[in-house]
Amino acid sequence: MLTAYDATMARLLDRAGIDALLVGDSLGMVIEGHETTIPVTLDAVLHHTQAVARGARRALVIADMPFLTYQVTVPEAMRNAARLIQVGGASAVKLEGGLPVAETVRRLVEAGIPVMGHIGLTPQAVHQLGGFRTVGASGREAERLLQDAQALQQAGAFAIVIECIPAETARAITAQIDIPTIGIGAGAGCDGQVLVSYDAFGLFDGKVPRFVKRYADLGEQMVAAARQYIAEVQQEKFPAAEHSVRVNSAGGKGR
Ligand code: KIV
């Protein structure tokens, strides 16, 4: 799984064969420029989900439920999740937390909405956690993570993202539940993996977690391409004759 926020990215990742596209609330950081995911609104996720759903052909599109769109009351969570599915075009939603959100997950699943859980480092709880930190290093935290995973499974979640926990804890949780675990910073013992695409492709120029592998340096390539464009415009090398529209070439369709 990779994150996607627009139709072009969705089309490209779909073409590459990705199984699932997550319209993560990480968009608050990599698209909107916030320090955390907390300011992200339902409307923002909805907007980006619509774009991703238009671009995806085969991949499962999962929309993240933003902070406080599912914790206040179950009916509110159901209405908000329904918008992401009905209006946004997602096929599933993801929400953060374990035992405390299990009842909400159960009700969403009963209503026909597939739900992906998310435990470990849950970025919407960054202030409660005291920063973006590893969770589950102590025996007590590891035990609680397992209870959270079991509660989500029992509630009907179809998969669980496990973020930033020790590899051995993630492996143990994966072995003790039947639904797939999707790791991020949780080692190789999970059933699947997810990364924020802007981190993985080198597009995000802010601080990137240590567990990210950079598969490309698209940010640097964009800077170099933009510099070349600026220089060619200044030097009047662009547009060349072949890039100019001629009177008798009008009438063509699209771009
Ligand atoms: O918002 C997001 O992109 C996520 C992933 C990091 C799993 O939740």
Among protein residues, the one with the nearest Cα to ligand 1's atom 2 is 24
Give the chain's radius of gyration (CA, Å): 21
**Residue with CA at minimum distance from ligand 1 atom 8:** 24
Per-residue confidence band for 249, with pLDDT thresholds at 50, 70 and 90: low
Residues with CB under 6 Å of ligand 1 are: 3, 22, 24-26, 64, 118, 161, 184, 194, 196
Residues 6+ apart with CB under 8 A from 114: 91, 92, 93, 158
| Contacts of residue 81, Cβ cutoff 8 Å, sequence gap at least 6 | 65, 70, 93, 108, 113, 115
- The CATH code that applies to domain 2-216 is 3.20.20.60
Q: Average model confidence (pLDDT) for the chain?
A: 96
Tokens of 133: 């930190």
The answer to whether the beta carbons of residues 167 and 183 sit under 8 Å apart is no
Q: What's the pLDDT band for 245 if we cut at 50, 70, 90?
A: confident
Q: Where does the pLDDT of residue 18 fall: very low under 50, low under 70, confident under 90, or very high at 90 and above?
A: very high
Q: Per-residue confidence at 252, pLDDT binned at 50, 70, 90?
A: low
pLDDT of residue 253 exceeding 80: no
pLDDT for residue 254 is more than 80: no
Q: Which two tokens stand for residue 116?
A: 């992906």
With CA atoms as reference, report the closest residue to 108 among 146, 58, 152, 147. Answer: 152
Q: What mean pLDDT is predicted for residues 102-110?
A: 98
Partners of residue 193 on adjacent β-strands: 183
The amino acid at residue 19 is: D
- Residue-range domain boundaries for the chain: 2-216, 220-254
C-alpha of 45 from chain center = 10
Which two tokens mark 183?
């790791």
Quote the ligand 1 centre to 123 CA distance (angstroms): 8
Q: Ligand 1 centroid vs 73 CA: distance in angstroms?
A: 23
Question: Which atom of ligand 1 is closest in space to residue 195's alpha carbon?
Answer: 6
Indicate the pLDDT class of residue 136, thresholds 50, 70 and 90. confident
CA 24–ligand 1 middle distance (angstroms): 5
Protein residue closest via CA to atom 4 of ligand 1 = 24
Find the mean pLDDT for residues 84-113: 98
196 alpha carbon to ligand 1 midpoint, in Å? 6
Task: To the nearest 10°, report the CA torsion of 23, 211, 183, 114.
Answer: -10
Residue nearest to atom 1 of ligand 1 (CA): 24
What is the structure's pLDDT at 247? 80
pLDDT in tens, 76-85: 999 999 999 9
Q: pLDDT (tens digit, 9 = 90+) per residue, 201-217?
A: 999 998 899 999 999 99
Catalytic positions, written as ranges = 163
